[in-house]
Structure formats: structure tokens, C-alpha cells
Amino acid sequence: MNPPPSVQEGGHAAAPVLLDLVLLTGISGSGKSVALHALEDAGFYCIDNLPPELLPELLRIEAARAEVDRRPIAVAVDVRSAASLPGLMPLIGRLGSTGVRVRTVFLDASTDTLVRRFSETRRRHPLGRDSTSSNGVSDTLHRGLTEAIELERELLADLRESATIVDTSQLRAAQLRAWVLDLVRAPAGSLTLVFESFAFKQGVPLDADLVFDVRVLPNPHYTPELRPLTGRDAGVIAYLGQQPEVGEMLSQIEDFVRHWLPAFARDQRAYLTVAIGCTGGQHRSVYLAEQLAQRFRAHAATLLRHRELDAR
């Protein structure tokens, strides 16, 4: 069987063969190994640190065996292949116009989180220099790590711009595995809405496309019997459902997203992440994210995340 035109020499000839490719990339220390193992456990054929110039050959091989045993493919590409990265974006563009369905997932985390992770594991950053001290991580190493991370962000900026971003700063390994699997299992070919609740005190998610601050709404935290509950519990749902301001905020966010959703879809986005934040990420943001997901579920592919609740 011939490969898809974009990966066949000459770029013409055969009808495309449908292949599913997840391109996993991101900042070093953001959890790519965890995500890749999750995809492998889910039945993906996984390759770590494949040089981008070898991707066409891999797709040729997989196209040839797809008649007998089609399998989804996951390839991790990172800054270790820095010299080949400039050619990766044009290749992705060519694949997108063929039978190769490409989903690019970019894992990111705050610089402070990445520095802490490298410090705890004492691993060397691919772009950094070893300068540890006998008492642990020295100031020189800290500065070196920060500079290496910022350089890596620059080198991967184009990939990040075109990818679906997952902020792993606050995620446990189990959360990351679940979130990545949700993304790759979402329907292909149309925009998927992701509603995510979060706590402002833990930082705004790096993967958010739209952020709504609902801290101005009445807070169930100050009602003793509601304090230990969440926005998914009946008591909190009833309380917030009775507040006129909550209903008004909910309707306005829904109208805004609904109005601009066609424009985001025309922008050829695969995912649109709508982040709803309150103080603790337990009551108001959870309630609104749940309600919004329920209202949009009949009209678009929808995913629901609760960053703080899922971490429990």
C-alpha cells in the first residue's frame, strides 16, 4: 500500500491512508514521559524523541501495515531534536491536508515548578550545564536552569502556538494521564470545548484560552454547612442556583462563548479551553464549569476538568 501523498516522495500518486498521529511535545520536566506511558497503555504505538526528519519514514511504514492492523501512533518530540525543529511545522501542515490526522499536545508548566522538579530529581536540563554544590542546588544551577528553560520556550514557541496546551504545574501524574487520554479520545475534525475550573490562589492555568473570574459571586464557603461541599453537590447547586448574580454571570459567559465559538472554529483550532476561576476552586468555579458543560454538550464535543478537585 502506498503512503499518504504528504509522506510519499514526490507528493502525488496514491490515495491517502487514514492514520492517527499524536505529536507529544513540550517543555522538559513537564511530564512527557508520564503522558507517553499513558498513551502506550491505551494502545498507542509510542516512540520517544524521534528526530522529526524520520517521521515521514515512520508514517510510510505504518501506512503499509494499516491494512492489516491499524493502530494509533504517538511520537514525542522535544528540544533534544532542536536542530530539526524548524522543519517540523511545515511537515505538520502537509500531514494535516492528507489522511494523517495529527493532534499536537504541548505540555507546559510554570518556570518555578520546572526548577523545583529538576532540583528534586537532580536531573540535568537538556540545554543546561551541571553546576551542583555539595549542599544541594546552588544559585548558579538555579540561574542556569531558568535560562535553559527560557531558551527552550523560545525554541518551542512555534510548536506551542499551534498545539493544544496542557498546564501540568498543579497536576498529579494520575491527573495528567487522564487529561491527555481525554484529549486524544475527543472527536477529531471539529473543535472541542474544554471547561476547566481552577483556584486563583494556585495560579491561572497556562492552557486557558479564555479566563473568567467569578470571585465576585456569592461564596458558599461562608455558609458553614456548605463549606466542606463542592460545586457538584446538591446543597451548593441549590444555593448558587438561587443567586440572581450567578444566573446572570452564567448566561453572559454562555452568550460570549456561543457568539465567538464559530470564529474559533474557523481558526482551525482543535480545542478551546474556557477556564473559570474562583478563590479556592471548590464551589463557584466548579458549579459554573459544570453548568456550562451541560449547556454546550448537545451542540459541541465537550470536556470537563476541575483542576483543584481532580487533585484530591
Predicted local distance difference test score (pLDDT) of residue 96:
64
Please list the pLDDT of the chain residue by residue as tens digits (312 residues).
Answer: 344 434 443 344 433 447 889 999 999 999 999 999 999 999 999 999 888 888 988 888 888 876 667 789 999 998 887 777 778 888 887 886 667 888 899 999 999 999 999 888 888 888 875 444 444 444 444 458 888 899 999 989 988 988 999 999 999 999 999 999 999 888 766 789 999 999 999 999 999 999 999 999 999 999 999 999 999 999 999 999 999 999 999 999 999 999 999 999 888 788 999 999 999 999 999 999 999 999 999 888 999 999 999 887
Angle at 261 between CA 257 and CA 264, to 5 degrees: 125
- pTM higher than 0.85, yes or no? no
290 phi/psi in degrees, rounded to 5: -60, -45
pLDDT at 194: 95
Contacts of 22 (CB under 8 A, 6+ apart): 39, 44, 72, 73, 74, 75, 102, 103, 104, 105, 184
Residue ranges of domains in the chain: 5-185, 192-310
Name which CATH class applies to 5-185: alpha beta
pLDDT number for residue 21: 92
The residues with which 195 forms a beta bridge, in sequence order, are 274, 304
